[in-house]
Amino acid sequence: MSGSCASGHYKFRRSGDPLDQNRNPYWTIVKLSAPIAGIQLSQVALTTTDLLMMGLIDVKALAAGGLAMLLYNQLRTMCVGMVTGLGNLVAGAMGRSAKRTGARIPDAIALNEVQELLRAAMLIAIVVATSGALVLVALSYILTWFGQDPAIVDLARPVMLTLAPGLLPMLGLNVLRQFAVGMHHPGSLLRITLISIGVNALLNATFIYGWLGLPQLGLVGIGLSTTLVQVWSFLAYLRKIKRDKQLHSFLTLNRWHPQLTVVLKIVKMGTPIALTYGSEAAVTSVATILIGIFGSIALAASNVVNQLVTVVYQINIGLSHCSSVLISHAVAHDQSHEVRSIAGRTFKLSFAFLTIVGTLYLLAPRLVLFPFLGSASETAVFSVATSLLWFAIAHQFVNGSQNICIGLLRGLGDTKAGLRNTFVGYWLVGIPAMVACGYWANWGENSIWLGRSIGFGVTGLLLWHRFIVESGNVLRLRGEV
């Protein structure tokens, strides 16, 4: 079934509605979260490929490039947080349209509202990404102030300079992603993701070794290739949306003067999210520094296990964004009774997936660790990494849960609660727990992961309690309890 909005050229199929009662509600969540997780995994795959290629140069290149990637990822995460609320705002606009018209076809008001949101988000993306790029450039010149080896900084600086421009297309891609997810029509990103990973690896090798007559750039070529792939991914996804019959009408860039009130609305929602994301990334960095005190073997093993949980975590990010958007739509459409049901289904899917992954960790640790350790799977690094996998299982459950709770609260319009509660859980509980378990109790490297899990666990409990309270308030306000 299809129809037209007041503009006369927008088509929207009833079957595309994520809250369609004829659909399996679990499949709705899976279908909407998969493309989100796909983009997240592509970003992780790009940096993972970069690190692997850096290791082919030499140890100094790996150290310098890893430092550059760590700082780049910290800024990338915070930049993405600034536009994450767009998906919720778009879903809310579509929900209100459905409430006004009694149909799944967006009216002229919704069309104009979503266009304004998209224009404002693109402006924010340009400003934030440019600011992030300038910060990354500035950091490349002051790292020695923080006790870093000048020789390593000299190697890291050109990588950071070539990575910095990539923040612009990366954030533009995330704006388009949030827009499409808010419209409940993100489409498949599998092909774009796979191609981007392959192209990145090929460009890395081409620039490192000077293939095809190009200059041999070495380490700096890795940063350049990542930026080029970010540009390609943005253009490929933009082309995909432009060719989508349901979405292309919203991409009009005429009257390129977004309303200040709309810009401020997105900034107000995005700032706590960006700070929350940045805080989580910072805690991971602190944990890495703390575990490094136990020696190179412990640090190497922890880095491997951390990369594993980072990959798995992207699935929970997809589920978090999906449930957040579905809740925004449900509340705007006066279907608040669906809020807790959406939360319950999301957690069931997450826990089912994490249980399968955890079982694999326990039954086949050698298979899980081999891609990272290879022939070193008989060494002390493998032994330490195997023991850390037990703690990684607990970490994946609590970390995934707290991230989903942040998304649930964002769906209800509350982003400040996430920032407050993560501050308590991460910094007032997690960091002290890591120090206490690792150094006062002298439990070794495993205790850092234990303390980290305690911090995320407390955060998850605080956020879940807040969600129960706020969802109850929404139900009472609308007379549904």
pLDDT at 475: 72
Pick the last residue of a domain from 208, 243, 258: 258
Residues 289 and 248 placed together within one structural domain of the fold = no
Amino acid letter at 424?
A: V
Pick the last residue of a domain from 258, 292, 317: 258
Residues 476 and 386 placed together within one structural domain of the fold = yes
Domain membership of residue 417 (yes or no) is yes
Domain membership of residue 267 (yes or no) is no
Amino acid letter at 83?
A: V
Domain membership of residue 171 (yes or no) is yes
Domain membership of residue 439 (yes or no) is yes
Q: How far apart are CA 24 and CA 445, in angstroms?
A: 44
State the SS3 of the chain.
Answer: CCCECCCCCCECCHHHCCCCCCCCHHHHHHHHHHHHHHHHHHHHHHHHHHHHHHHCCCHHHHHHHHHHHHHHHHHHHHHHHHHCHHHHHHHHHHHHHHHHHCCCCCCHHHHHHHHHHHHHHHHHHHHHHHHHHHHHHHHHHHHHHHCCCHHHHHHHHHHHHHHHHHHHHHHHHHHHHHHHHHCCCCCCCHHHHHHHHHHHHHHHHHHHHCHHHCCCCCHHHHHHHHHHHHHHHHHHHHHHHHCCCCCHHHHCCCCCCCCHHHHHHHHHHHHHHHHHHHHHHHHHHHHHHHHHCCCHHHHHHHHHHHHHHHHHHHHHHHHHHHHHHHHHHHHHCCCHHHHHHHHHHHHHHHHHHHHHHHHHHHHCHHHHHHHHHHHHHHCHHHHHHHHHHHHHHHHHHHHHHHHHHHHHHHHCCCCHHHHHHHHHHHHHHHHHHHHHHHHHCCCCHHHHHHHHHHHHHHHHHHHHHHHHHHHHHHHHHCCCC
Domain membership of residue 269 (yes or no) is no
Residues 234 and 300 placed together within one structural domain of the fold = no
Q: How far apart are CA 275 and CA 267, in angstroms?
A: 12
pLDDT at 478: 61
Residues forming beta bridges with residue 11, ordered by sequence position: 4
Range of the domain at 376: 284-481
**Total domain count for the chain?**
2
Query: In the block, which residue shows the tokens 């998209």?
Result: 118
Q: What is the pLDDT tens value at each position of the chain, 481 positions in all?
A: 334 344 444 444 444 444 444 468 888 888 878 777 877 777 777 777 777 777 667 656 766 776 787 788 888 888 998 998 898 898 888 888 887 877 667 778 888 888 899 999 999 999 999 999 999 999 888 877 766 678 877 888 898 999 999 999 999 998 998 898 888 776 666 677 778 888 888 888 888 888 887 777 878 888 888 899 899 989 988 888 888 877 887 876 555 677 889 999 999 988 988 888 888 888 877 887 787 777 767 777 787 788 788 888 889 988 998 898 889 888 887 777 788 899 999 999 999 999 999 999 999 998 888 776 665 555 777 888 889 999 999 999 999 999 999 999 988 888 888 888 988 999 999 999 998 887 776 777 788 899 999 999 999 999 999 999 988 887 776 655 5
Residues 254 and 305 placed together within one structural domain of the fold = no
175-199 CB burial, b ≥16 within 10 A, e <16: bbbbbbbbbbbbbebeebbeebbeb
Residues 213 and 254 placed together within one structural domain of the fold = yes
Residues 476 and 343 placed together within one structural domain of the fold = yes
Residues 208 and 344 placed together within one structural domain of the fold = no
Domain membership of residue 273 (yes or no) is no
Residues 182 and 315 placed together within one structural domain of the fold = no
Residues 131 and 210 placed together within one structural domain of the fold = yes
Residues 244 and 377 placed together within one structural domain of the fold = no
> How far apart are the two ends of the chain, measured CA to CA in Å?
34
Domain membership of residue 5 (yes or no) is yes
Pick the last residue of a domain from 223, 258, 293: 258
Residues 218 and 367 placed together within one structural domain of the fold = no
Residues 294 and 217 placed together within one structural domain of the fold = no
Domain membership of residue 470 (yes or no) is yes
